[in-house]
Amino acid sequence: MDQTSRLGQEHLLRVVYSHQQIASEVARLAEEINKAYSGRELLVIVVLKGALFFAADLLRGLRIPVRVDFVKLSSYDGMMSSGHVQLTKDLDTEVAGRDVLVVEDIIDTGLTLSFLVDLLHKRGVASLSVCTLIDKKERRQAQFDPDFVGFDCPGGFLVGYGLDFNERLRELPSIYEIVENNTGEVE
């Protein structure tokens, strides 16, 4: 079954970032983080589920000591953010006094990360920065500027490399935009 037929005839997938582009961007980000945190130990907080693939690749490019933990937040229903963020899986680790790096797949409205960043500050982190693979600014609602950014993306709904559409298509190695199929043709 090809990727298009998994979506149905009304949508197509258009490649936005190939897996080669992703790999070189992830390597660049890892180097930036290595430089910024040289000589320190980092607690890396991965935002499930989307950032799992990105974090797995990014972490293997780091040469500083790291611990890894996971949170799960939810605000999405299909392609729309509900605007209401919930913590559905909390950390196992005490964050007070730690240097923390949050790893996210994509920032859209900014509501999810604003919520998480507030929470981590309240818990007393020593320092906090955010690394996102994709920064999608067109629908930003909460003022939010990530510290490490892979790709600046103009918009659209993206899938693949961890990004899902209703829990599907995360496993695709490249990142695609879901576009309307006006022609009736299948890509």
Give the interface segment with ligand IMP, choosing from 10-18, 62-70, 122-130, 155-163 (CB under 6 A).
155-163
> 79, 38, 46: which is closest to 165 by C-alpha?
79
CB of 44 to ligand IMP, least distance (A): 16
117 binds, among ligand IMP, Mg ion, none (CB under 5 to 8 A by kind): none
Q: At what angle do helices 19-36 and 52-59 cross, to 10 degrees?
A: 60
Q: Which of 108, 145, 147, 152 is catalytic?
A: 108
**Residue 108 a catalytic site member:** yes
Q: Which residues contact 147 (CB under 8 A, 6 or more apart)?
A: 129, 130, 131
**What span, in angstroms and rounded, lies between the C-alpha atoms of 31 and 36?**
9
Report the interface residues with ligand IMP, using CB under 6 A: 47, 50, 75-76, 81, 104-112, 136, 157-158, 163-164
- The footprint of Mg ion (CB under 5 A) covers 47, 50, 105
